[in-house]
Structure 1
């Protein structure tokens, strides 16, 4: 063990000095005291120790004061040369203001061949690092160092080591352990330098890549031009794909023309991207793919019956389509002249009657792929016909995209909400649909993006709409319209039991062992908690019941039975109750029937009179047609009922409630006549009577539309007698038998017949003049 020395200690903040290093130290008061003490009492030697933030030092270096002078900034400083390592001991008294401590120098270890090998390996790594930094003078110094301990301590100058790592070296007296540490750290740093250099090289090469590629392509183009042969990169792939694809002859010719353009064009030309995108789109369409239709007519009908209740008109039409296709296939007449059936069915009806879901059932029955195209709110003609290829971001139209999505050339395409297609400065999408839906034209449909003929004649198009009146006439003429007017209460109960309740049980994670809903409860939900033609609100009410059941089962797992008696606990008080008796309890109120976008509905028309000049005042957001009907009704009564002239020769106010809803249509004339007659006679209209029809100045009742929907609404409202125009009597064939059994439907040809039966006291109404 070496002799213990007594030296003044100088603690350097955030600086670690290793043996062999020469460092300048600014001479503040404390530092000067230590330097003066070293020069006076220890032959110029002192102990340098790092003072880092985490702990006190345990090792230091014995340094000598080489020189005292001034720094370039004019500040006094001392130059210290670090010598041997020393282990710090306890403090001892000493002369001057400096702190004196015991220092035990660390003896040098003998140099072995293993140490020399480690030293050589470390020297190689350090030189590689220095060469990357172009520090050639330092490289020469490193190469001259032969002592392994001195070489390891040279890491004190390394800028990539932290102060903690340097202190770790200072506190490692074993030379081999020191060399292993600095060798590992140097290798890690060298790897980081190599990665950094690679990134810099890649960035630099990337910046020059575009210019180099441009020059090379120009040279390659010039060479090919001189040789008259060769093709640009990638074009041969497109040519092979086009030749291998199962394309119609004219489509193949158009695709090969585009491949020729691609071969002649430079990759720098924007046209290259357009051509590649067009070729990808054409090759992505299923030109030769078709699914085989189901020829099992009975099986197809079973599928339709299982998926949907009622809707016999639609089911019959689909079965007829299948029957004809099956016979044509048997006789080799599948396609004649390139044209198929071109079937376009338009399902028109209020929301919730199953129009959209019927499309999937039709596809299942036919055995075809199904794809839905939502047209609600579409105002751009290019959405149907596609964009011209010259536009940035051009795409084919929705019809072509639907064919590609389906993966076959004969899918079932559902054009949803076709009555909500709009038009603006970008064109009229409804007009663009004419070619799509016309059976005489759609075998050569031409999309603006593809610019090739696309045969749509084998596609089954289904269109859905809430109101037929808003479908453009030319488009309406090209479709076979099937009206879905709504469901009776019996239908709703059956649909709820078969479809709605099982679906909502699954969504609420319930089963039939935990909850049951009686048919009486479902019937009351349909009649008193919802008022609609379809079953959408009914399903929401069932879902609400089941949510509350799930909540109760969380507290008590006793099975719950939802009955008519406890339905109020789940849904509260009924929202819809028959109000015809209350509304018609006073004279001047008549119950009419109307068709809205949500199906049939009852319409109350109120009339009152007040002193003043003879005039008619109308309110309730009435359209021109209904305003004319009101004037006709008043004129009819004044001209044909002399006994009522005096009562009507006043200011008459006729109002149709729900004034926030616009109303129009030629079916309220007879209701207005009845309301005015009730007002003039003072006799209320029977509360169980509803009516619909337009009236002329001579009292003739003209036919109207929507008879089935109006009769369904009358049944929902609790009416028992309904007057309809006599010329609408054939429409009763489409009305369900249970509705006709529940209603006394009376066809009439003259409004006087309605007045003779609609008022409560028939003797109060004289015969019409």
Structure 2
């Protein structure tokens, strides 16, 4: 066991000393123990010895090092100093009395155990990391000293000189007598520091390389400028190229003048400034536009109509309008009246209809029929006016608007431009894109369209603009006035079957990698998919149903089923499950107080069931079904009409002098519009008389307080919806009789359409006849149930 020594204690405030270190300590009032120890040693034969320990604020130190006073002298400034050499670790015991003013304590030197293999291996790893760190600092002399140290404990305590270790970390080493544990800690700290050095050096190298590259490029540019100056070519790089390109390009006179002005600015601008880049981008945009490129329209009207008929089924209004456009242009060309860029020579058509009727794909067919190039501009969700008119060139990242980009993409000045989803254009603090489209779509103004980025006139008068929309009411009136509206109201069931057979089925066969020899779909199956598994104005769900059937057929063929696979009406349940849409009009109207109305939604025409109920309570009318203000007013008018004129139609209005509830199902869907008045009158009359509405009857129209039936819109879509729902008799306003000319003949043959001028005509025909007389008890019970 090591003998306990009694030594003066010296606490160092800003230094942690490990064994083997030699440190200078200035002599002042706090280092009195050094002086006392030196004096005590002067009286003996051994060097002055004392105990060094770090000064701790939170606790009393438990470990220190036994140090000897090597020398006492003065610094060049005259301050006294002592040089101390640290020896072994020692545990600090309790204080003991001693001479002088110093604090004397018991110190028990820590015996160092012999290093085992693990400590030796750790020491070698630590040596390698320390040498790698020192090599990055070019400290070769220190590296030699490190390589000469063989004792693992001495090597671990060498970390006391490491500048990257904090005093806390060094104190941990001082208080860790075990060599292996000490080496583990210093090795981990050294590796962390080495990783930080690598990252720092990599960042510094990247920065240095970037600076060197910029300096090299700057030097090369200066040399190139000097060479050009010696050769007499003192123009900035690229300006001469742009001047030649502008002079060689076939540009309008005003555009050429503007481009040459910008080339002059480029010649005077510095290559290092941002303005040169902006000018080059503008010149590239101008030169890429097809100012003088125009495709030749086809003059064969019959061939163009055949192209439209082959690509789309039905849509005669659109096809007629395009054919008329071609016929007029052909006659103008024959008579030499074709003027490029003349006012009003273009066409602006708005294709309005529910989703899936072929509005977007029709644009490509129109371009194909005209022999023009086609480009699509998606406007759904656009809220920034600059998306249409372009950004001012003063903004960073400025670009031309979508119209200019569409012309550049088409590569000609007379393409077919499809403005898709124009009814979904929004507006916010960045402007109103719909207002910016006013000039674009005005045939009398768009021959001088000016984009904010180009700031030169662009002739759009020869562009055929096609706009698509689902809801006409969402388009601003001023913008709608610029366009010729063509309504696509949807397809009949016969149309859907024909489209499926001609267009959808071949496309889905190709996608499913099937041939007509491998699968056979009967006409009854197509009609069932269109009528019982889908209920829509367009054909998207129909195409998805066909795709699902063909995928299952492909699976069966892959499983070993022999071809061809026949799919008839009876087999559809195996492929698509149960039918999803069955006629429900008879079920819904089987009780009094329910009438079937017709409405137009964003997805096309649809049936609307209106239910009325009476109960005891305060007289009044309660409305539910998320109705808009117009429908609420219609309900109030309907009730007032029956209370005032019910006796004229043999209706006892006493049951209506109760608490009434009028409900339109599907309450999660907002409903509004002036076309449910007659339906509400019929539902309330059915409730009052106890006579159900005939199941095959549907109706539409607004009503006045005097019972007049007012005209409504969307007659074609509503009649198509009535046919899909299974109705056979439809009442419409008499003033809408002219709209029947637009309804397909097969629809009119399937429906008994009755124009009416007074709601009394509907009440006389729509309600079921009076039931035969029954005993009073049964009558009372039946009325109460109603």
2:681 to 673, 694, 711: 673
Is 1:364 matched with 2:368? Answer: yes
> What is the CA distance between 1:469 and its match in structure 2?
0.7
Q: 2:504 aligns to what?
A: 500
User: CA offsets per residue over residues 374-415 of structure 1, 9 Å max, x none?
Assistant: 100111100000011111111100000000100100000000
Q: 1:555 aligns to what?
A: 559
* Number of positions where the alignment pairs a residue of Structure 1 with one of Structure 2: 573
The 1:649–1:291 alpha-carbon spacing in structure 2 relative to 1, beyond 3 Å, is same
Q: 1:351 aligns to what?
A: 355
Cα distance in structure 1, aligned partners of 2:379 and 2:477: 17
1:519 to 523, 527, 530: 523
The 1:216–1:493 alpha-carbon spacing in structure 2 relative to 1, beyond 3 Å, is same
Q: 1:129 aligns to what?
A: none
User: CA offsets per residue over residues 602-643 of structure 1, 9 Å max, x none?
Assistant: 000000000111100000000000000000000000011144
Q: 1:573 aligns to what?
A: 578
Cα distance in structure 1, aligned partners of 2:747 and 2:644: 37
Is 1:491 matched with 2:477? Answer: no
Per the normalisation by structure 2, the TM-score is: 0.70
Is 1:629 matched with 2:634? Answer: yes
> What is the CA distance between 1:330 and its match in structure 2?
1.0
Q: 1:265 aligns to what?
A: 269
User: CA offsets per residue over residues 416-461 of structure 1, 9 Å max, x none?
Assistant: 0000001111110000000000001100000000000000000000
Cα distance in structure 2, aligned partners of 1:585 and 1:482: 39
Cα distance in structure 2, aligned partners of 1:762 and 1:706: 34
User: CA offsets per residue over residues 652-702 of structure 1, 9 Å max, x none?
Assistant: 000000000000000000000000000000000000000000000000000
> What is the CA distance between 1:529 and its match in structure 2?
0.2
Q: 2:336 aligns to what?
A: 332
> What is the CA distance between 1:331 and its match in structure 2?
1.1
Cα distance in structure 2, aligned partners of 1:753 and 1:510: 55
Aligned pairs for 1:45-64 within 5 A: none
> What is the CA distance between 1:332 and its match in structure 2?
1.3
Cα distance in structure 1, aligned partners of 2:210 and 2:358: 60
Q: 2:450 aligns to what?
A: 446
Is 1:209 matched with 2:209? Answer: no
Task: Return 337-346 or 632-641, whichever deviates more.
Answer: 337-346
Cα distance in structure 2, aligned partners of 1:229 and 1:209: 22
Q: 1:253 aligns to what?
A: 257
Cα distance in structure 2, aligned partners of 1:682 and 1:320: 56
Is 1:712 matched with 2:720? Answer: yes
1:694 to 702, 723, 738: 702
The 1:760–1:215 alpha-carbon spacing in structure 2 relative to 1, beyond 3 Å, is same
Cα distance in structure 2, aligned partners of 1:674 and 1:757: 10
Task: List, as ranges, runs of 4+ consecutive aligned residues in structure 1 with deviation greater than 6 Å.
Answer: 199-204, 217-221
Cα distance in structure 1, aligned partners of 2:612 and 2:259: 71
Q: 1:615 aligns to what?
A: 620
Cα distance in structure 1, aligned partners of 2:387 and 2:213: 40
Cα distance in structure 1, aligned partners of 2:674 and 2:524: 38
Per the normalisation by structure 1, the TM-score is: 0.72
8 Å contact kept, 1:251–1:452: yes
Q: 1:591 aligns to what?
A: 596
Is 1:734 matched with 2:739? Answer: no
Q: 1:749 aligns to what?
A: 757
Cα distance in structure 2, aligned partners of 1:491 and 1:260: 62
> What is the CA distance between 1:203 and its match in structure 2?
7.1
User: CA offsets per residue over residues 6-38 of structure 1, 9 Å max, x none?
Assistant: xxxxxxxxxxxxxxxxxxxxxx99xxxxxxxxx
Cα distance in structure 2, aligned partners of 1:335 and 1:711: 44
Q: 2:666 aligns to what?
A: 658
> What is the CA distance between 1:233 and its match in structure 2?
1.3
Cα distance in structure 2, aligned partners of 1:72 and 1:722: 105
Aligned pairs for 1:309-320 within 5 A: 309-320=313-324
User: CA offsets per residue over residues 553-584 of structure 1, 9 Å max, x none?
Assistant: 01124120000111111111000000000000
Cα distance in structure 2, aligned partners of 1:367 and 1:502: 25
> What is the CA distance between 1:215 and its match in structure 2?
5.8
Cα distance in structure 2, aligned partners of 1:306 and 1:270: 54
The 1:694–1:365 alpha-carbon spacing in structure 2 relative to 1, beyond 3 Å, is same
Q: 2:292 aligns to what?
A: 288
Aligned pairs for 1:127-166 within 5 A: none
2:653 to 604, 623, 645: 645
Unaligned runs of 5+ in 2: 1-113, 116-144, 152-205, 773-786
8 Å contact kept, 1:637–1:644: no
Cα distance in structure 2, aligned partners of 1:292 and 1:367: 7
Unaligned runs of 5+ in 1: 1-27, 30-69, 77-198, 765-769
8 Å contact kept, 1:334–1:340: no
Cα distance in structure 1, aligned partners of 2:258 and 2:591: 76
Cα distance in structure 1, aligned partners of 2:475 and 2:670: 19
Aligned pairs for 1:50-89 within 5 A: 73=148
Aligned pairs for 1:364-443 within 5 A: 364-443=368-447
Cα distance in structure 2, aligned partners of 1:381 and 1:589: 48
> Which secondary structure state, in structure 2, belongs to the residue aligned with residue 644 of structure 1?
coil
The 1:204–1:304 alpha-carbon spacing in structure 2 relative to 1, beyond 3 Å, is closer
> Which secondary structure state, in structure 2, belongs to the residue aligned with residue 641 of structure 1?
helix
8 Å contact kept, 1:409–1:456: yes
The 1:234–1:592 alpha-carbon spacing in structure 2 relative to 1, beyond 3 Å, is same
8 Å contact kept, 1:342–1:460: yes
8 Å contact kept, 2:299–2:326: yes
Is 1:342 matched with 2:342? Answer: no
